[in-house]
Amino acid sequence: MNSADNTFPEAFLQQLARQLDSKEREALLTALNEEPPVSIRFNPYKMASKPEGHGVPWNRYGFYLSERPLFTLDPLLHAGVYYVQEASSMFVEYLYRETIGDRQGVRLLDLCAAPGGKTTLYSTLAGAEGIVVANEVIRNRATILADNVRRWGIGNVAVTSNDTSRFAALGNLFDVVAVDAPCSGEGMFRKNPTARREWSPENVSLCAARQKRILSDAWEALKPGGILIYSTCTFNRAEDEEQIAWLAANFDCEPADITPPPAEWGIETGETEGIRTFRFWPHRVHGEGFFATAIRKAEGKHRSKLPKTAREPIAELPKNEVRILGRWVGQPDYMHFAGIGDLRYGFYEAGYDFVKTLAGPLNMLYSGVCMGKLFGGTLRPDHALALFHDLSREPVHEAEVTEENALDYLRKQELHDLSPLTEGLNLLSYQGVPLGWAKRIGARINSLLPNGMRIVNV
């Protein structure tokens, strides 16, 4: 092995020796010391045509970039036009399409969802008829997840922060449960030096034990006949194939019918207990290390244990408020407007009852589209409404701004050019895509951008 081997833990190298021959190990270790590829996934609800560039073969929305720009200074990122996502992890779309296809009304639980890369992808796939419940047990990470869901702006996601056991207790509610499990992170060694420094066999064992607990809860939340999508960003079998073998030995698993991807993609296809598995090695694919599989739950008796609770945070609204809110979206007939405290929200009609039912027993941070607050007959719109893909452009003046003005707004600084804005409330847009709200009062601009979503120190 070459000198690059010294930068890796010895136990990790010994593990690789059991998985790869010497030539493959050399190629992998070399790749893990190189710069990772840069990829993005565009939002088809906000971008009418595909961007130019080399597409990620296993994801129709993914594209590689020739170099890494300063994403923070691109207003389109803040507008939810695209998401910066590692290419290999986009493979979950392939598994979803192979197992779910174009089925409508899918209820999907993303159990380890922050920061939101896969959640926003699942949101795209589920569409207006489906619902994605995105859970993150760590509260500050759940807040970041909610911000990314707002930016993405499809409106079919409920963000929760609960232990996974809460979902198991509710019974078999979901058609798909996705577990992108917390792991030892071997596949991210070149992207995240901390993962390399903190790796140890003991940490692998801890991760594997945690994964079993999460998978057990995930299985309880899954409907009979439903699909579990399991993934990690690590190479070792203890967190990958051995987890699948454990599932097969302890639960009613069935292989899902998945077409092997084309050989030219470079993905290693394997099989564990009859269940097809997929591994991404960074020296073989244009992406990071990744492992994924999809497993079908055998048909059986459906169990639902939704508890009766006096807590009903989502309230119905009077007809006059519904009419006012309906003016702010392009297709109000598809929406159900409701209240949570003094805020007004819009939900797709197809998912509303399900979200309302879950809001009682679960700690729900965000759901649907926050419309804003009503004062008399006037809506003070929330930032999330500006980023909703079906926002109506009719209620207020839309001010198209330059890149310089867009960045001023995103920093909550004074705009260089006030001429595009009219007196009163304005919707600021950049390249035709809404960025947020601003109120002009004479020669002064009152930015309505939330402080937590502004650009800081860049």
Q: Do 78 and 456 meet the contact criterion of CB atoms below 8 Å apart?
A: no
Amino acid at the residue 314:
I
Give pLDDT, residue 300: 79
Rounded CA separation 229/297 (Å): 11
All residues at 6 or more sequence positions from 129 whose CB lies less than 8 Å from its CB, including other chains:
104, 105, 106, 348, 350, 351
Q: Which two tokens stand for residue 335?
A: 């929406």
Q: What is the dihedral of CA 411, 417, 420, 426, to 10 degrees?
A: 30
Q: Which two tokens stand for residue 193?
A: 């030096």
Rounded CA separation 266/91 (Å): 13
Q: Do 427 and 415 meet the contact criterion of CB atoms below 8 Å apart?
A: no
Query: How many Cα neighbours within 13 Å face the side chain of 115?
Result: 8
For helices 117-126 and 92-99, give the axis angle rounded to 10 degrees.
30
Q: What is the DSSP string of 283-299?
A: TTSSS--EEEEEEEEPP
Rounded CA separation 365/387 (Å): 18
Domains and CATH numbers, the chain: 35-297 (3.40.50.150), 396-458 (3.10.450.720)
Give pLDDT, residue 307: 65
Give pLDDT, residue 194: 84
Q: Do 338 and 316 meet the contact criterion of CB atoms below 8 Å apart?
A: yes
Rounded CA separation 142/238 (Å): 28
Nearest to 365 by CA among 121, 153, 109, 149: 149
The burial class, CB within 10 Å (0-12 / 13-18 / 19+), for 49 is exposed
Nearest to 427 by CA among 414, 436, 416: 436
Please pick, among 183, 233, 253, 370, the residue that the annotation labels catalytic. 233
Q: Is 233 a catalytic residue?
A: yes
pLDDT along the chain (458 residues), means of 10: 60 95 95 94 88 89 94 97 97 98 97 97 97 97 98 98 96 97 94 87 97 98 97 97 98 96 97 98 97 95 69 93 98 97 97 95 96 95 98 96 96 92 97 96 93 88
Give pLDDT, residue 4: 43
Give pLDDT, residue 191: 81
Nearest to 428 by CA among 438, 419, 440, 443: 438
Q: What is the DSSP string of 244-302?
A: HHHHHHHS-EEE---PPPPGGG-PEEEEETTEEEEEE-TTTSSS--EEEEEEEEPP---
Give pLDDT, residue 182: 95
- The CA-atom distances, in angstroms, between 177 and each of 112, 231, 304 are 10, 11, 15
Q: Which helix (H) or strand (E) holds 211?
A: helix 201-221
